[in-house]
């Protein structure tokens, strides 16, 4: 992920008050959501909702609080609200993007909240309860010659940081295939292992652009002023709490989400993390995803 790393966060970024946002938003128990939990359901830990969240510093989605160990951000906030609504304790488990599928399938996590978009392929293995929409953005160094990225030809010949196994990678590789068919220079996807490497690559000019979640890119641009947005991805995808296929947990989670949407806690979370433009008005179970 392209995000703040390796230095202390300021007290505010744009309109985001990091100090205030360390105080949790809470929700009351939701009797209908609790009743929707299948009889005899076995959680990873009894009485606890175990949720995988990003192990990266990926603000505003996930980052470390002042104590350098507590995970805060919109994803931990949503997880806490879900646990409250379901009458459960919460256990957050930082996990790598590559690890959440096996963790869900094996039952190590009850759910994953790591900016996971609903896709046709993923629906074959997992169930989903939507809670946000995902907009992708192209970001470049603030002094870059690149002014706009709107389609395939704009990335021809560029080196672009992108996450492996993500929807943005699929988009970038698809654009590259179109360009190659037209005889244009190939795109070079760049995969980095941590935030510091991503930041250094952009600022040193070793790569031309970052392509990933708009909320993360916008946060970084507001934080340092060293990057700017030059384009939005061609698709908007539903982002969902992800659970094991067929275990019945997606419906109570969706019921809980609709409860916190109606109760105002959901809007409070997204507003305070600057994600108000990615809100949904209702959670859905297994909606139409990308490639459908």
Task: Give the domain ranges of the chain.
Answer: 12-134+239-278, 135-235
The pLDDT of residue 177 is: 98
- φ/ψ of residue 85, rounded to 5: -65, -30
**What is the rounded distance in angstroms from the CA atom of residue 265 to the CA atom of residue 260?**
5
The pLDDT of residue 204 is: 96
**What is the rounded distance in angstroms from the CA atom of residue 42 to the CA atom of residue 60?**
32
The pLDDT of residue 197 is: 85
Q: Do domains 12-134+239-278 and 135-235 have the same CATH topology?
A: yes
Helix (H, G, I), strand (E, B) or coil at 161: strand
Which among 67, 158, 125, 76 is positioned nearest to 244, based on CA atoms? 125
What's the CATH number of domain 12-134+239-278, 3.65.10.10, 2.60.120.620, 3.40.190.10, 3.40.640.10?
A: 3.40.190.10
Question: pLDDT (tens digit, 9 = 90+) per residue, 168-180?
Answer: 999 999 999 999 9
What does the block give as tokens for 103? 């963790």
What's the CATH number of domain 135-235, 3.40.50.10190, 3.40.190.10, 3.30.360.10, 3.30.465.10?
A: 3.40.190.10
128 exposure class (CB count in 10 Å sphere: 0-12, 13-18, 19+)? buried
* 97, 191 Cβ separation under 8 angstroms: no
Q: In order along the chain (292 residues), what is the average pLDDT of each group of 10 residues?
A: 37 72 96 98 98 92 92 97 99 96 98 95 97 94 97 98 92 98 98 84 96 89 90 92 98 99 98 91 95 80
The pLDDT of residue 104 is: 98
**What is the rounded distance in angstroms from the CA atom of residue 224 to the CA atom of residue 27?**
34
Question: pLDDT (tens digit, 9 = 90+) per residue, 119-153?
Answer: 999 999 999 999 999 889 999 999 999 999 999 99
């Amino acid at each position: 992920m392209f995000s703040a790393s390796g230095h202390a966060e300021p007290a505010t970024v744009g309109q985001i008050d990091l100090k205030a946002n360390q105080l949790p938003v809470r929700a009351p128990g939701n009797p209908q959501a609790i009743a929707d939990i299948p009889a005899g359901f076995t959680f990873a830990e009894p009485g606890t909702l175990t949720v995988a969240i990003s192990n990266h510093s990926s603000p505003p989605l996930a980052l470390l609080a002042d104590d350098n160990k507590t995970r805060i951000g919109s994803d931990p906030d949503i997880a806490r609200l879900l646990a409250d609504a379901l009458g459960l304790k919460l256990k957050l488990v930082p996990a790598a993007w590559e690890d959440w599928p096996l963790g869900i399938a094996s039952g190590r996590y009850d759910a994953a909240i790591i900016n996971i978009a609903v896709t046709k392929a993923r629906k074959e293995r997992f169930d989903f309860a939507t809670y946000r929409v995902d907009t992708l953005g192209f970001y470049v160094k603030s002094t870059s010659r690149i002014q706009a990225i709107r389609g395939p030809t704009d990335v021809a010949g560029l080196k672009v940081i992108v996450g492996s196994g993500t929807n943005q990678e699929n988009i970038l590789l698809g654009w590259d295939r179109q360009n190659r068919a037209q005889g244009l220079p190939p795109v070079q996807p760049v995969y980095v292992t941590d935030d510091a490497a991503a930041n250094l690559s952009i600022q040193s000019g070793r790569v031309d652009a970052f392509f990933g979640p708009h909320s993360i890119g916008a946060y970084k641009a507001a934080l340092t002023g060293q990057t700017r947005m030059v384009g939005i991805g061609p698709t908007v995808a539903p982002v969902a709490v992800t659970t094991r296929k067929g275990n019945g947990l997606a419906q109570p989670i969706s019921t809980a989400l609709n409860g916190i949407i109606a109760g105002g806690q959901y809007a409070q979370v997204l507003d305070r993390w600057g994600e108000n433009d990615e809100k949904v008005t209702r959670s859905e179970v297994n909606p139409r995803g990308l490639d459908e």
